[in-house]
Structure 1
Amino acid sequence: MLRTRILTALVLLPLMLAALFLFPTPAWAVFSALVCGLALWEFARMVGFSPLRNALYLLVSALMAAGLWWRGGVTFLPLHALALAFWLLMVPLWLKRRWRAPSGVAAAILGWLLMFPAWFAMLDWRKVADAAHARQLLAIMALVWVADVAAYFAGKAFGKRKLAPAISPGKSWEGVLGALIAVALYALWVSHMGWMMLPLAAWQWLLLALPLTMVSVGGDLLESWFKRCAGMKDSSALLPGHGGVYDRIDSLIAVLAVSNALRALAGW
């Protein structure tokens, strides 16, 4: 299993970096839409969509994405505010009360609320197909990876107090603390390197990165809860050794949506 996991990562990471740094804007839009679309397909399976209904759902979603791309993207601030409210207010409440995943139209809307803001963020953080904008998006994405790795090793070494045993028994508060420390160091390094094209001092970037770490944890727990409700171990078997696409980007979609919403609402 570990060997398969490593081999899959060795294929996926260079592919992602090549797309991020080399693809022109239209190709990047299609590539990132494909990633979010695969995760959306997996989410629809979790909430019980039949294969036919899922295919129609993806078709409608693709047409919506194409229409939004054709009109030049989305800059409607209330949509960013909605994404922010969902991740900062609704998701913590959802996890606390352990609401089951919805079905029907409500599930379709929830899927769009999960995936479309993340896709918009992939386009907005990389508005221009150059190395500077690619590094900026990579910095946001790497924050999630740093948090995940640090939480895993800190939890393995020191984990005693369970974070959410009814949702994801393997996660601990010690793991979260390890993630926060690692992200704090990472945020200072990113600020020193000048990767973020934002008018923020190092301490301001630090104050932004730490809440984003908690958002990352929320995204992970939310998908874990959806899987538990559906009786699934992985969102799919698309990625050998890793499960599904949604399994890989559950934290990322949350951080992308929130970071981009904050950027848009602040006028950066």
Structure 2
Amino acid sequence: MLKTRVITAIVLLAVFVPVTVFAPVAAFGALIGVVVVFAAWEWARLLKAGAAGSIVYAVIAGLAVAASTRLDAPRPLFQAAGVFWVVAGPYVLARKPVLAAGAWRAFLLVAGLVIFAACWHALVVARGVGIAFVLSLLLVVWLADIGAYFAGKAFGRHKLAPAISPGKTWEGAVGGWVAVMVVALAAALTQAFAPTLFSALFAGLGAPRALFMLTVLVAFSVIGDLFESMLKRQAGVKDSSGLLPGHGGVLDRIDALLPTLPLALLLVS
């Protein structure tokens, strides 16, 4: 299992790092478009759209992303996705409705088109600002995840959402937040690799508000993770798919990014 995970990770890095660092923005956007289409396919599968329905949904999601490029600016997409995560995200986690049936399934299938289009635009806009900027966006989620893993292993005692994701703890969430705060302060104070998300927030908001907004982003990265965990639990599956051997599915890798990216772009736009 570990060998499979390592091989898959190496292959992914061999594809994504050169495209992110060296390729034109258009090529980067094309690669992210492929990622979004596969994630949309998994989203539909978790909502029990059926084999054919999931493929059709993925095609529609790809067409929706392509059509959204005609917008004068992606800010309305970021706002719509932000409203979904701020309102529907916490509500779903608190009330735990059945998501793959009735009105909820219809709502989430429609909302998914906005969510995935916003994700695509956020990454492409960030890449247009600069390599360091797009990597700093991803770093918020990566640090929160890595910090949560190690802090949870070392200190985890109190379950964060036992009915949804039993492995997550409050101590882990705090550890992830601390990791983000430390790196954000170091990056902002040294202006390392600026412009980054950290330098933009500190310059535009000042240190106290910047740290608060980063705290909000970390919180929503957790909400995105838990939201997908609830989808999987209700669907009765461990992973969103088996597309990435040893790692699960594409949605498993980007779930925390889905709320974080549009909210971050709204904060710095």
Q: Same fold (TM over 0.5)?
A: yes
CA distance in 2, matches of 1:21, 1:205: 27
**1:147 maps to which residue?**
144
Relative to structure 1, is the Cα distance of residues 121 and 76 closer, same or farther in structure 2, using a 3 angstrom cutoff?
A: closer
Deviation at 1:248, TM superposition (A): 0.7
Aligned partners of 1:83 and 1:261 also within 8 Å: no
Instruction: State the SS of the aligned residue for 2:48.
Output: coil
Relative to structure 1, is the Cα distance of residues 63 and 166 closer, same or farther in structure 2, using a 3 angstrom cutoff?
A: same
**1:138 maps to which residue?**
135
Deviation at 1:182, TM superposition (A): 0.6
CA distance in 1, matches of 2:17, 2:74: 29
> What does 1:72-221 correspond to in 2, within 5 Å?
73=71, 75=73, 77-103=75-101, 105-127=106-128, 133-191=130-188, 192=190, 193=192, 194-196=194-196, 198=200, 199-200=203-204, 201-221=206-226
Runs of 4+ in structure 1 over 6 Å off: none
**1:251 maps to which residue?**
256
Letter in 2 for 1:119: W
Instruction: State the SS of the aligned residue for 2:255.
Output: helix
Relative to structure 1, is the Cα distance of residues 76 and 142 closer, same or farther in structure 2, using a 3 angstrom cutoff?
A: closer
CA distance in 1, matches of 2:64, 2:234: 28
Letter in 2 for 1:225: M
Among all aligned residue pairs of Structure 1 and Structure 2, give the percentage whose two residues are the same amino acid.
38
CA distance in 1, matches of 2:38, 2:74: 25
Deviation at 1:21, TM superposition (A): 1.4
Letter in 2 for 1:118: C
Q: Deviations over 1:100-149 (max 9, x none)?
A: 21445323213213312111101111225xxxx11101001011111101
**2:34 maps to which residue?**
34
1:237 pairs, out of 214, 236, 242, with: 242
Instruction: State the SS of the aligned residue for 1:248.
Output: helix
Aligned partners of 2:119 and 2:262 also within 8 Å: yes
Between 1 and 2, higher relative CO (CA 8 Å, sep ≥ 6) is seen in 1
Please, which moves more after superposition, 246-255 or 189-198?
189-198
Letter in 1 for 2:2: L
CA distance in 2, matches of 1:106, 1:240: 30
Q: Which structure 1 segments of 5+ residues have no match?
A: none
Please, which moves more after superposition, 196-205 or 182-191?
196-205
Relative to structure 1, is the Cα distance of residues 63 and 230 closer, same or farther in structure 2, using a 3 angstrom cutoff?
A: same
Residues matched between the structures, number: 258
Letter in 1 for 2:256: S
Letter in 2 for 1:246: L
TM-score (norm 2): 0.89
TM-score (norm 1): 0.90
Q: Which structure 2 segments of 5+ residues have no match?
A: none
Please, which moves more after superposition, 140-149 or 73-82?
73-82
Deviation at 1:18, TM superposition (A): 1.3
CA distance in 2, matches of 1:224, 1:174: 19
Letter in 2 for 1:52: A
CA distance in 2, matches of 1:142, 1:52: 36
Q: Deviations over 1:176-229 (max 9, x none)?
A: 110111110011123221241623345443232221111110000000000001
Deviation at 1:20, TM superposition (A): 1.1
